Homo-oligomer: A and B are copies of this chain.
């Protein structure tokens, strides 16, 4: 009877919930009956709203410019997808906040939703190809009608940045004004209250700090690692020193010294604090240790999905930065590199945001600097090192399906 198989394989069966009495079920049947005549595609998607939201300012001013429609639809599509990203991001943050992630059953959800965000960002990067079918000349024909409307005013994009964890003090000011000055009233309030919430970065940090194996009185990953690495370098140095003198020997020694320095710095907590204060690191020292541990032992069953999560978080950073860069390219094409009327050049402002300052998970990228040969990694015996992490979830009373998605 129904119609398209995807939307709307009618499915009145299976409606009873466990514990429902039969009386309740009958009312349920009534609902199904209503549903049947029920909601249709256009109403379900509220297309009366979505498809009647394209008002061309050029047309309002009596000079309809064809391409303004594309401009509007593209930006609306961006905003729709931003909403979806926020939806996923909020649910993931909720899962972390409610400590659900201590129940490892939720890890699949977390990693799947973060992965979904990356897929949306990929689409958003590709979406520029559509807007790029508009030439600078086409844009010029209506840009006067946009007056002061500005993508700088996209609330959702700012929320997105905030919730992921772009820190306020690292943002590039635009025309010497803070981005929040563009928002007023309810929007401004929303921004402020969002800032009070834990960011994805902070939640991931806390989660990383709990990585099983970091305990100094337990597996003591960090201590063991430091010992192994220091030992390793000593052995390397010893070998090199026994070489005959040569230019190569000098070079290799110099290299070794540089490497040694890098790792000496890694094991120095004060150095970490210093980098934190400059914004070059973002994670706490302990969280950094957890991230490195997950990287090294990623093949352990308990670390496989966590490792996927770290990888996806880096992808979000990469894709946001690619989105920014594509944005810059389009702006260059649309208005050139010269200043707007208002002062400093928008092109140059945007360009400055394509920067590591805006990479939230920059520490995860920089872990690549601290890799060592597998033989230097502390040995892990899974029979001995029963991680509390996993045990924990089994101790809790079992209720994963009843509380499904209570985010």
Contact = CB atoms under 8 A, between A and B. Distances in A.
A3 B182 contact: yes
Nearest to A364: B333
Given A150-B7, A342-B10, A77 B75 contact: no
Interface string A233-267: 00110011011000010011001101100100000
Interface in A27-60: 29, 31-33, 35-47, 49-55, 57
A4 B119 contact: no
14 contacts: A2-B147, A4-B152, A8-B148, A10-B147, A16-B373, A22-B239, A29-B252, A32-B147, A36-B248, A37-B148, A42-B187, A45-B75, A322-B329, A336-B368
| Chain A interface helix/strand/loop/mixed | helix
Interface in A72-102: 72-73, 75-77, 79-81, 83-84, 87, 91
Contact of A146 (B8, B79, B145, B314): B8
Contacts of A256: 13
B2 A299 contact: no
Contacts of A61: 31
A212 to B, nearest CB: 13
A138 to B, nearest CB: 9
Interface string A162-198: 0000000000001100000010000100000000000
Nearest to A134: B116
A215 interface: no
B148 A38 contact: yes
A277 interface: no
A222 interface: no
A15 B343 CA distance: 21
Contacts of A401: 374-375, 377
B150 A239 contact: no
Interface residues on A, range: 35 or more
Contacts of A11: 143-144, 146, 341
Given A369-B338, A372-B14, A151 B8 contact: yes
A107 B304 contact: yes
A225 interface: no
Contacts of A29: 239-240, 243, 252
Interface in A318-363: 318, 321-322, 325-327, 329-343, 345-347, 349-350, 354, 356
A123 B343 CA distance: 35
Contacts of A338: 262, 366, 369
A276 interface: no
A218 interface: no
A1 B79 CA distance: 24
